[in-house]
Structures are given as structure tokens and as C-alpha cells.
Amino acid sequence: MMRLELVKRPQKSRLMSVLSPIVAVALTVVFAGIVFAAQGHSPFTGIWYFFLEPITSLWGVEQLITKATPLVIIALGLSVCYLSNNWNIGAEGQLTIGAIVGSILPILFPDFVSPVVLPLMLLMAMAGGALFALIPAKLKTVFGTNEILTSLMLVYCSNLFLDWMVRGPWRSPQGYNFPITIDFHEWAVLSAVDVGGIYLNLSAPIALLLVAILAVVMRSTLKGFEIRVLGQSPRAGSFAGFSNRRMTAFAFALSGALAGLAGMMVVMSEIGKLQPVISPGYGFTAIIVAFLGRLNPVGILIAGLVIASSYLGGEAIQTSLQMSSKLATVIQGVLLFFVLAADTLILYKVRLVPGREGERAHA
Amino acid sequence: MGEGSGDSTGEMLRRVGGDTPLLEVRHVTKRFGSFTANDNVSLKIMPGEIHALLGENGAGKSTLVKIIYGSLQPNSGEIFWKGKAVTVASPAEARAIGVGMVFQHFSLFEAMTVAENIALALPNCRATRELCETIARVSANYGLPLDPNAHVADLSVGERQRVEIVRCLLQNPELIIMDEPTSVLTPQEADQLFVTLRRLAEEGCAILYISHRLEEVRALCHHATIMRRARVVAETDPANETVNTLAQLMVGNEITRVTREKGKLGPEAILLKGLTQVSQEAFGVSLHDINLSVRSGEIVAIAGIAGNGQKELFDALSGEEPLDKEDMVILAGEAAGLMNINQRRLLGAAFVPEERLGHGAVPALKLSENVVLTRHGTGEGIARRGFTRFGKAGRIVETVTSLFDVRKGVVDPEARSLSGGNLQKFVVGREVERTPKILIVAQPTWGVDAGAAAVIRQSLIDLSRKGAAILVISQDLDEIFEIADRIAVISRGHLSKAEDADTLTPEKVGLLMAGGAEKKGAAAA
């Protein structure tokens, strides 16, 4: 009788750190093939439509970047939270409140038309998201409440607040009673520019810049060191002179600000006004992106693209193969599962060992 | 140790019991991955025998004991109980055949009574009046007086150990395994324990006794098995050995003794004036009016049994726990009571906490990153304009490695991959390499083998002779007498006056540890 044994490695395996996401993606493709086959389609056709067809056209690539951008920006902030052991689940709410606060300018002051409106809106959205995120942070540090619950519950508060705003005080007089606000003026929207056949706006380069900044911060600054130390060992962190309370406030404020920024840019580029629903759950999906990217800025960039492509893949199999787009959610979940499972290989190696007489007798 | 155990007569050590071995371990091998923890180990324990198991940290004692007690399964080898081959698949099975164990770290619920704690280990789990009577009777019989209705939180460490022993005795064991039972006891409490153990042995109960304290092994044990690097290297009658020969068998080569000469005393570098602090934690200890001065060039040790305010005192000195008044702690002439830990480090102070992993070092970070942990705010340029310089930290790792003989597999390993002794050398070396003016260190050699302990103690002495003021908080009296110039004792948050080490004996310190230090202006007279 043989059995599998996990043996702890003395050091993290560098090879496996690189290989494990690839292993996970490969296993997910195999799994997806099985699912397509079970649905009565050729696994290869299914895999083609789901994973590859969406990015064969320029339009598909444009969609991919548009969807990935908010996911990446939000996940960057969340990674700082999770690395420092602060469990912010409420990015969706911070995104919403950020977008509402940033929208004050074009909605309440439609005559204030100037090039400074756009940067002001982005800054206000970041401040709004940050302040809203500080609520669960303060509840945690002052009263010791569980931030997972409070940040999650505040999502529902913020969504209902947005709903009330667009149906009530901010409803457009010219909107035929639809729950929408007035359209933003020209200096309050992000217009797309043609880059080699793909239309892109400012948000994608901002996401790339943020990835680069966070990569440097985490790698070689004292702040990045502080984030890692406090997350792994709070007592050692205070021995180093770092403060857990201040880190909680910092991490929540940062991730709230980035969620607010992402929310504002989605509204400014894709919608151009406020309406009851402004995000297809970017704030929640970004949690998956953050972990899929193993809380590493560059990893998050790649993970954001992978998850965004699964959204497009879902639409593609729906239109081409008449399969439910909910399959995309299944495949996202399976991907996260394989990524976390494959991570085991970084810290452990797998061995086959022969079973032993005595242990079998007692098994 | 105590006088009663100092001399050993053949009469006291006569063994009672038959000639069939009670427990025999034959050729047991246990591997963890590529690491062999027990390599072809054999051990024979006779009924009524007090059998010592000796060895440095990491020699494989704990693994062997866990195999006997059923919490680990060997890769090969056999265990015989009263001449019959057995497989001990779990601690429950071990207890069923008559093996009991008293752990080094107690597993008691503090909020429950003695009887309730004991009942938890029994099949029906009910603290009946009958059980209370049995506890009172058994504990009185063996010289371990216990009140079954007392809450564990109110008991001293020695009394808590009695609870563990009585719990073990109620299961009528024929073999009791004791893991470092005296490491937390005062000398007087230890002597009391020896009386009980001899009494048990006379009744035919065998005891497997694990200890680092060779004096007490010589006085107490009939037989000793000595392990080194996963193998049994010697079996001997400890009464025929000296402490030095036993230590040599354990370590394999002559232990380097620390050398000490009086240092030149400078100004007062650490001054505590009426340090008072009410503990905020449920089972914490409040500090009461603590006064102490440590001058440059001397080592002052604070002795005491664990949990008497050492942790709170360390946190107050390091600045991890803020104080009410700034002049309660004066470091290098500056009122530092309100400063945080890095401001205190800038005054030339360095700190080594008791817990290596999780407090002194982050387990999953590399050694160089762990250098940044305590030295980024010391003005040495390890962090500049918000950027960290891991290269510079890496060079410090190299210096510490060569100065302290830190043994590691790769150039810059993660802290958790080092053995306890090597990590402790690194954690102490990281601070000593800075040549601080003030060093405050808790349990510098706790759970560290003799070789590493000698290196660490010598480095502390050398540092003080170069003009540093050193405060050592330790439970190890041997260590304290080896390195300290003056000794104070902490007991329930009170600190006795620091006395010259040459005028003190372990017995006097023991009396202070057992509560004498709590009297106003107490000193060993």
C-alpha cells in the first residue's frame, strides 16, 4: 500500500512559486473541458470559445482591458489589507460611495465646467472611499468588532444609499422618471483615445502606474516591510516599533481610496451618469483577483486579465454555444480552488511512501 | 540545588521491583522527511526505576517520549510492555496500558477548579464529591497537598504541577513520563517534588525523567540514557558520574566555561524609579513600585518564577507598553517612560525578548529582513528616506553569523528554518553586534543547548566589560549565578533590592522567589 505524504520544505521553492499558477491554470482548462463535455459540447470547441476566442479580435482585447482595469486597481488596495491581516470585504461599498462623492461636482455644480473638474472628481472619490473604509477600521481598533462583517454589511448600506440618491434627490428632471442622474458634462467624463485600433482611456495607464508603485513600495520601502511584518506577526511588529492600529487605518483607507478611484473611473468612462447599479460586482471579484495574484502587484495585474477574460468567455459561450454564462462563475471558482491548492507545492513537497504494517493494523 | 538532594547515598537509590523490563524500546527509528529524529534508539526501563533521559535540545528526547506516549508512530522498531510487543497508537492507548505523562507546559484551564480540571481527564468528566475526596487523599498521601476546590488561576506554578501529577496518579500509571518538571520550580519546590518521586518509585512505579539539570539527575535517578544527535550514545549510573562527565557525554566535547572578571563601573545607565503599572489583561501581573539601577559595566539579573511580572516588566522597559510617567524609566540619563521602542533604541538601548519566534523574529522572513526588524530605526542607515537597504542588513547577518557561529543551510534562510539555539544566537547577536550602551534581555538561553548557551553568556559578559549596562531577566538560577554581578528577584510584580551575587546563594534567592521579595525593601538577609 502506498500513500502520499506532504513533506515541509525548509525554504519556499522558487521554482514552484513560478510553476504553481501555471499548473493551476492548466488544471482549470482540463476541468473546463470536462464541464463542456458534460454539457454535450466538444471540450475543444468549448475551450476555444471560452478562453481564446474573446481575445482574437481588437474589440475583445479592448473589452478585456476595460474589465480588468477596475479589478486590478481594487485588488491592489485589497492586497495591502490582506497582507497586513485586515480583512476588508467591502470594496464594493467603498467603490459606490467613492463614485457618489466624486459625482457631487458634475451633478450639483453642472455649471462648473473646467479641466480641473476631472482630477478633482478623482480626488474626491478617493477621499470618499477612504473615509467610508475607515468606518470598519475604527470599529475594529476601538471596539474590537470583526471587520469582515462590518465592511461587508456596509456594502448593502452604500448600495441602498445610491439607489435612494438616484431615485430621490439626484434624479434627473429630464430623465422621464427613470432612476438616473443628469449626464456628466464633457470635462467630467474620460474619453477614449485610439491606440493602434484599440480605444483606451486614462484608467488603464493609471492602473499600470499603480501596479509599478505598489511593487516598489512592497519590495524596497520601510512601509512595505511594515505591512508584511504586521500581517505575519503583530507582536514582532510592535517590537519593531510599528503600530497595528495605525496600520489597520492605513490599509483600509488605502484600499477604500483605490476602490473609490476605480468606481469613479468606471462611471466616468462607461456610464457618464449615476444609476442604481454602477458595478457588476468589481469589488467582490477583486477579492478573487487579489488572491489569484498571490497578493503580489504584478501577479494581480495578470490575475485581473485572467478573470476579466473569464467574463468575456462566459458571454462568448452564451452567444456561440448557447451555454449559461453562469459557467464563467464556476470556472472562476475552480481556478481559485486550484491556485490555492497548487500553492501547497511552494511550501511542501509530495512524496510517495510505502504504508507500514503497524499503521495499517490500526487504521 | 537543595541540600537534601546534594548528597546521594546508595540506600536512597535502591530500586524496588522485578527483573522483567517494564518498558523496552528496541531499535526505534523516526524520520521527518530527510531529517532523522531517532536513529536506532533502544531504551529499557525497569519497574520502580527512576530513569533519566538526557540530551541537548534537538537530541531526539521529545520524539522518543512522544513515540512511547503514542502521539507519534515510529518508522521502524518495536516497543515491548512487560515483555509483550505492543503498538501504542494514541495517548489514550498509552494511558490504558499504564503510561502517564506530566508535560513541561501545563494544560490546565485557569478559570476552573482543581477537581474540574482533573475530572476532564477521567472517563465520566464529573467533579463529584467522591472525586474531591480522592484527590485530597491521594495528594496528601504523596506529599502534594492540594485543595480540590481551589481555582487553578489562584495556584502557584508548583501547585499547578501538583495538579498535573495528581491527575496522572489517579489513572494508576506504572510508568510516569516527566518532561523537565523542575524547570519552573523554586529549589524548595523541587526538593519537595523529589520526595514525592522517590516515594512513587518505592511503590514500584517507574519514572522516565527528562531534565537538563545534571545535579538533580545525579541525586535522583537510578539509571541514565544519554542521547546525542538522534542516537543513544551512553547508558550509565549517574551516581558514578560527575556533573562534568555527564555534560561531556551529552555535548560530546568539553563545554567551554564562561570567564568573568569584575568590570569597571560607569554611570547609572538604566534607572527605574517607582515603576508602577496596573495590568490591563485578565491574567496579567501588575508592577508595584519597582526601583532598580544598572550601571555601565555590570550585569544585573532579575530572577523569578515564570508569570510573576517578567513579561510586563520587559514590555515597560522596551516601550511596547506605554507608561504613565516619563521618569519611571530613565535610560542613559534621559527620561524615557513615554518614548516608544525606537526612540529608546536611539538612546543606545537594545532589547531581546523571551519569545524568539513571533516576537524577536518573524518566522517566515529571512534573517536579513529580521535585521531590519529591530535596526531600521537606530540611525545606522538601514532604512533611509523610507527605503530599506537589505544589502546592508545582509552584511550584518554575515557578521553575526561568524561572531556567534550561527549554523544555517543557506546564506540568508528564513528565521523559522533555524534550530532554537541557532536562532537565539542570531537574535542576541543581532543586538550585541550593534554594541549597545544598554541591553535588556529576557531568558537569553531558554531552551538552548549547552554549547549555544555558553556562547551567548560569554557574549553578554564581554559586552558588559566593554561598558554596556545589561539587565537579564531569567528563570535559570545556574545562568544567573554564572553571569550576574548583582541579583534582584521579582515576585508577583514586586522587585527585591539587587544584592551582590557573591553574597547570595541559590537557597536565599529561592526564598525570595517564593514570595520573600514581596515584603517592603526585601533583600536576602
Chain segment A173-189, per-residue pLDDT in tens = 888 888 999 899 888 99
Residue found under cell 459540447: A41
- Chain B residues inside the 8 Å CB shell of A225: 369, 372, 376, 388
- How much of chain B, in percent, has pLDDT values that exceed 70? 89
Residue B346 at interface with chain A, using a CB cutoff of 8 Å: no
Dist. CA B184–CA B308, nearest whole Å = 12
In a domain, A51, yes or no: no
Dist. CA B163–CA B180, nearest whole Å = 16
In a domain, A52, yes or no: no
Beta bridge partners of B234: B226
CB contact under 8 A, A359 and B361: no
- Chain B residues inside the 8 Å CB shell of A224: 388
Beta bridge partners of B495: B490
Tell me what pLDDT residue A359 has. 43
Residue B342: closest C-alpha in chain A: A241
CA distance A287 to chain B (A): 24
- Non-local CB neighbours of A351 within 8 Å, separated by 6+ positions: A4, A5, A6, A7
Residues A177, A310, single domain; the answer is yes
CB contact under 8 A, B358 and A235: yes
Dist. CA A78–CA A231, nearest whole Å = 13
- Cell, residue B292: 532598580
Residues A341, A196, single domain; the answer is no
Average pLDDT of span B321-334? 87
How many domains, chain A? 2
Confidence band, pLDDT 50/70/90 cuts, at residue A339: confident
In a domain, A108, yes or no: yes
Residues A28, A99, single domain; the answer is no
Average pLDDT, chain A: 89
Tell me what pLDDT residue B522 has. 54
Tell me what pLDDT residue B520 has. 55
Residues A149, A248, single domain; the answer is yes
Question: Is this complex scored with an ipTM above 0.90?
Answer: no
Residues A269, A340, single domain; the answer is no
Range of the domain at A151: 68-320
Ranked by mean pLDDT, the top range of A251-255, A327-331, B206-210, B502-506 is A251-255
> B249 with B237: CB under 8 angstroms?
no
Cα-Cα end-to-end distance for chain B: 19
Residues A270, A128, single domain; the answer is yes
Residues A255, A340, single domain; the answer is no
Residues A308, A329, single domain; the answer is no
Tell me what pLDDT residue B508 has. 80
Tell me what pLDDT residue A70 has. 96
> B374 with B434: CB under 8 angstroms?
no
- How much of chain A, in percent, has pLDDT values that exceed 90? 57
Confidence band, pLDDT 50/70/90 cuts, at residue A239: very high
Residue found under cell 524547570: B183
Residues A36, A97, single domain; the answer is no
CB contact under 8 A, A240 and B376: yes
Cα-Cα end-to-end distance for chain A: 12
Residues A180, A273, single domain; the answer is yes
Tell me what pLDDT residue B34 has. 66
Residues A300, A289, single domain; the answer is yes
Domains of chain B by range and CATH? 256-348+438-525 (3.40.50.300), 355-435 (no CATH)
Residues 21-80 of A with CB under 8 A from B: none
Residue A97: give its domain's CATH number: 1.10.3470
Looking at A74-78, B26-30, B402-406, which range is the least confident one?
B402-406
Best to test chain B binding among A222, A226, A245, A352 (most B CBs inside 10 Å): A222
